Amino acid sequence: MVVTLTRDGDLMIVTVDNPPVNALSQALRQGLLEAVATIEGDPAVRAAVLSCAGRTFIAGADAREFGAPPQPPHLPDVIAALEGATKPWVAALHGSALGGGLEVALGCAGRVAQIGSRLGLPEVTLGVIPGAGGTVRLPRLIGVDAATDMILSGEPVDATRAQALGLVDVVTTGDPLPQAKARARAMAEAPPIPLSQRPRPTPPGGGTFWDDREARLRAKSGGQDAPLAALASLRRAVETPFPEAMAGERATFLALRNSDQAAALRHVFFAERSAGSDSTLAGVTPRPFTRCAVVGGGTMGAGIIAALLEAGLSTRLLERDRTALDQGLTRVDGLFDAAVAKGRLSPDAAQARRALLSGTTEAGDLADRDLVIEAVFEDLEVKRAVFRTLDGVLKPGAVMATNTSYLDPRDIAAATSRPDSVIGLHFFSPAHVMKLLEVIPLPETAPEVLAMGLALGKALRKIPVRAGIRDGFIGNRILRIHRREAERLLLEGCTPAAVDAAMRAFGFPMGPFEAQDLGGLDIARFDRERLAQAGSPAADWAPLGDALCAAGRLGQKTGGGWYDYRPGDRRPHPSPTVAEIIRARIGTKDSPPPALAPQAIQDRLLPPMVNEGFHILEEGIAHRPRDIDLVEIHGYGFPRWRGGLMAHADQVGLAGIRAALLSRADPLLIPSPLLDRLVQAGQTSADLDGR
């Protein structure tokens, strides 16, 4: 049974067992409601303890019910029964108590948590708000400010922080059940006032609290509806009686759960759960990667090292000489120092990670490594030289990975005698922060090596996406189209600021020109030069970018790129120099063209990106549309709440995307044959996800 009852003297132990994460299925909700009735009708029982079998407390809603009409009994009614019981309930928490799971715990009179437990209300990350009292009860328990922080961020807190906030009563190092029993017996003697009957809390800072929070939220929410709706629900919980606040929260939840944004975020949720899965690897055991090494301690290499150390992996840095080695180790130290300074890492944790790191200037010192990741300069001959050296010193079975962004891993692997042990692992900068990892197998890559690459991504808490071999793989190939089309808009009279503002309004954290200035215009220039040497037609698409590079305007690092930057100020300022370069390229005109509205700019940039996504699918470079969505979200800042590039195209309609491309009458924007077929068949990209 999902819910079982066991007598323990004057207590009833209510055990939930609904593997794998004790999700709040209809059967579980029904079982809890029946348990309340049973306990209320038993005069020998004075209190109850709610415990969960397995690895976690109730971890949230049942994913199988996402998007489906709610089935009775509804969770608010179950929690109301728990809270209204005459005999107090105490929740024994371990693992995670998230979403509806935490709302259930809030309905209990007390909460005991095992250290390391995580408690949170992540609903805004799924495009909804808590729908069973979270926005109403939580501020009555921990105060308005702390509750607002938790609900608007969607981020969980650990048990220690939860106790400090007043969210849990007791934290225990072992099994929480004994302490929960003691707490339940104490509460039977002196039952606390239910949260629903406590006075409404007062927000800090007087009457400006809500206006200040709303202004901050609008500045960073990027068009998302759920955070603002959650803030409104929290305000209603403070300003209206409990029943009215509950009714308002539930109505808002039900309205949001059927929205396009909620559907998009559910799509991302399931895509992330399936990231790294590959049916061709069923039964394949990944090669080990306990002992790792990184060749090159620059910005990218240091970030990769930090990510490996955070996963608890012994890591060794190889550099060409002692000076470069010391500089690389210092960079890694700096990343940990920054994390400690920001409170994201304790000094003890930082020291434990540093203890896993060693350095060397001798390639032979990598002989015991399971995995070596090359992170040197993006030059084919430099990378081939590294692989040639590694081939001579690594043990049999050791995996050699290249972090190339654009080069063909097959050309790099040709320098070795064991291409079956070579794989591409494309990290994104900063590698210790960015969650995307493109995993690129060669035709010769052994299945257990590919399995290792995907398993490594999960071990690093990244989103691993398998990509085929083609210039730019998945993400950088779409980025190239995005930049090309953005620059073409400048040649038609748009300004960099207008284009960037339009894409920020769409939901990107920064526009294409701001992003280029941050990363450096020389990176794209190097790519164009490489393509030109190879005779690729994709090389000649950035005349303005080339002109800026020729003028020494490489972005923030030189004080100017598409924008001007003042000393100590990273904010972009419109540049008269860039405006003159654009005017010179366009030529003299009697009158400037009319300015494009933000929507028109978005309509110019997004369809070509979608079209390139379909080319990538048709060529087998990406296996599923949702993989492209994950790449764009986690590698390039595509707004998560729009579902990713391909999911967004489905929402706006593929027929409209195709029509927008055809309206341009541009040989560079001929619709992909795959896009044509889907439109003709009345299908969407999502129909390809199960292939």
DSSP string, 410-458: HHHHTTSS-GGGEEEEEE-SSTTT--EEEEEE-TT--HHHHHHHHHHHH
Residues 6+ apart with CB under 8 A from 311: 459, 460, 461
Q: In which order are the strands placed within the sheet that holds 157-158?
A: 96-98, 118-120, 157-158
Measure the CA angle with vertex 66, ends 635 and 685; round to 5°. Answer: 50
DSSP string, 326-387: HHHHHHHHHHHHHHHHTTSS-HHHHHHHHTTEEEES-GGGGTT-SEEEE---S-HHHHHHHH
Structure-block tokens of residue 653: 């309609």
Measure the CA angle with vertex 609, ends 603 and 612; round to 5°. Answer: 140
Active-site amino acid positions:
103, 123
Partnered with residue 4 across adjacent β-strands are: 15
Q: Taking each helix axis from N to C terminus, what angle separates 26-40 and 75-84, rounded to the nearest 10 degrees?
A: 20
Which residue, 409, 392, 530, 514, is CA-closest to 467? 409
Which residue, 464, 308, 461, 300, is CA-closest to 377? 300
Which residue, 272, 266, 263, 221, is CA-closest to 651? 263
Q: What sections of 118-259 are H helices per DSSP?
A: 134-142, 144-153, 159-165, 176-189, 209-221, 226-239, 242-256
Burial state string for 263-275 with b = 16 or more CB within 10 A and e = fewer than 16: bbbbbbeebbeeb
CA-to-CA distance for 432 and 300, rounded, in angstroms?
A: 9
Burial state string for 324-360 with b = 16 or more CB within 10 A and e = fewer than 16: bbeebbebbeebbeebbeeeebeeeebeebeebbebe
Q: How far is CA 539 from CA 368, 530, 666, in A?
A: 42, 8, 17
